Structure 1
Amino acid sequence: MKTYKLNRITVIVAAAVGAAGLGFALYAPASTAADDKKADAPKPALTVSTATPQAARLPIKLSANGNVAAWQEAVIGSESNGLRLTEVRVNVGDQVRAGQVLAVFSADSVQADLAQARAALLEAEANAAEAGANAARARSLQTTGALSAQQISQYLTAEQTANARIASARAALATQQLRLRYTQVLAPDSGVISARAATVGAVVGAGTELFRMIRQGRLEWRAEVTASELLNLKPGTSALVKAANGSTLTGKVRTIAPTVDPQTRNALVYVDLPASDAKDAPFKAGMFASGQFELGVSAAMTVPQQAIAVRDGFSYVFRLNSDQRVSQVKVRAGRRLADRIEILDGIQANTPVVISGAGFLNDGDLVRNVAASASASAPAAPRTK
């Protein structure tokens, strides 16, 4: 009897264990498959924000290079011959005004010649007075027959000769007065002294260069442009000029050269630069400068600068597809305005492109798209797979 009860209990326990094993066999694989499927689901590589290109009006600019030069450079030379230079009153970089004395020559010999010329004039005037009196008496006696016709003619001729000698003496005096004025070298115009060759004590000849001066302190940018670009330029066009030291000035086109260099096929465009204090002027004659001519504005399609990914020397954007994956698209970038770049071709105006995180993406990556404001508050970073 005890043996029967024991076998019955054993059978019941075995049945319960079998039922539990069957249940585990039926339900455990299903749960494991769901977990495996969830684990195998692809995860977004990055959280990004997207936007479509925007229409804008961008300035049209023409870039060029050239040299800064003086608008006009005056050569100031000596007009005296064989005089010693006693004083030099200006140096390189000095601002001068028209008529200012720049240098002085010794005037001792000129003063002596001037005094002699004045004395010669007084002598000529005295002789002319005597000759005039004789001629007057001869005229009064002409009808009386007291003097012969020959004598009367001699007195009249002497009067004319004396008057001619007065004119000659006055001309000689004017010459010496002019030589005296030439002992002072005057500035022909206002401007800046750019070079000095005058040396105190030197005896120079007429025509010797003493100074060079930038007239009125005006500089110009001589930009070189190709012949095909000349049609876009005209007098009055604005230009932003940047020197090698980083200084910038805004000038205007004064004129365009009438010829093109047959070697380089470039033409010169003369751009007037605004005048400034010579000592603190950001531009100096002889400097190399680059610049851009402002030719107007035109319509353009732009994207933010951070949407452009530069790889292997080419520009790309990432287009967001309907399956939330991105495609790498090659584009051609154009003009730049602040933080936006013009797209010349490669995408359409309604194409959604990735703005934030474009530099971390690859072609075909799965992304999670969020609003631009949300992505702006937290910088994008690649997620670990």
Structure 2
Amino acid sequence: MAKGILLVNLGSPDSPSPKDVKKYLGEFLMDERVIDLPIVARTLLVKGIILNTRPKASAAAYQKIWWEEGSPLIVLSERLQEKVQQKVDYPVALAMRYGSMTIKKGLQELVDQGCTEIKTIPLYPQFAMATTETIDVKVDELVAEHFPGVTITRTPAFYKREDYINVLSKSIGEVLNDLDYEHILFSYHGVPERHIRKSDITNGNCKMNGKCCFKKGSKQHEFCYRHQCEITTVNVAKKLGLKNGTYSTTFQSRLGFDPWLKPYTDRTIERMGKEGIKKMAIVTPAFVSDCLETLEEIAMEGEEIFHEMGGKEFTVIPCLNERDDFAEVLSSIVKEWATPETKNV
């Protein structure tokens, strides 16, 4: 069986125009694993309210971060794809869960090259319903409908791989080593608390109090986004030798009025500014590619909040993007699958 690799990231509007942003948001927010409400309620919320109010503001945000080459997330993902392709002996395609670079197109590209055994690699270190799971489900649907002769192998969350932690730590350390900072925030994309409960395969063992995140051997950790974020921070802090009290984990980008994972990034930035922190660094390990949430929400809005509260220096550490060592991590994942005798990291 001929092997192929499909890298999958979130996606982007085709342009920062309100029309294209509205189309993109419609597809994204109508996903039942993103806004997990019954179809009628979800339709009323998204099509009746959000798509009539949010596209213009979101388009303005995209316009602030849009590159001459296009969407930063798309451009950076394409650069990463090229580097992974240089390191492996199998065709590597790139797709987005939302937008015009569809997963169907990515699968078709590989099938056209004769691939019948495809490994999908969601570009998310941590598992979540609204990221990894929606990609896996969409791939299964497309294969069943359009590519019945294709065998799919999924990639589990790679948040605790030693090589990934080494690369993430190195990317952070390269900035911190030359920086005089008082506190570093590890800001992860937020999800509603109910998503954590829905992903709990132990049917209620998750207490949402933060304690079970650190309980060794818990079966739900395989699919617990909160645990995986917390452990990512712990492992990086250990690798870098960060002192207790100089770092913390927060969650950004919430929508609606239901409780989301806490503490919230924006409120933490505000609080620390008020408490007298003058020099802050922030990294976003839930994203491997810089995008709207890192370039605008954190680097622009976050810095504005910090300065308004009296903070002076606000340093945003880039995502892994197209780093050679991160491409090497992904190529190792591929090689371990293609040659099972390869030792797992």
Which structure is richer in relative contact order (CA contacts within 8 A, separation 6 or more)?
A: 1
TM-score range, shorter chain: under 0.3
**Greater fraction of residues in helix:** 2
Flag the structure with higher strand content: 1
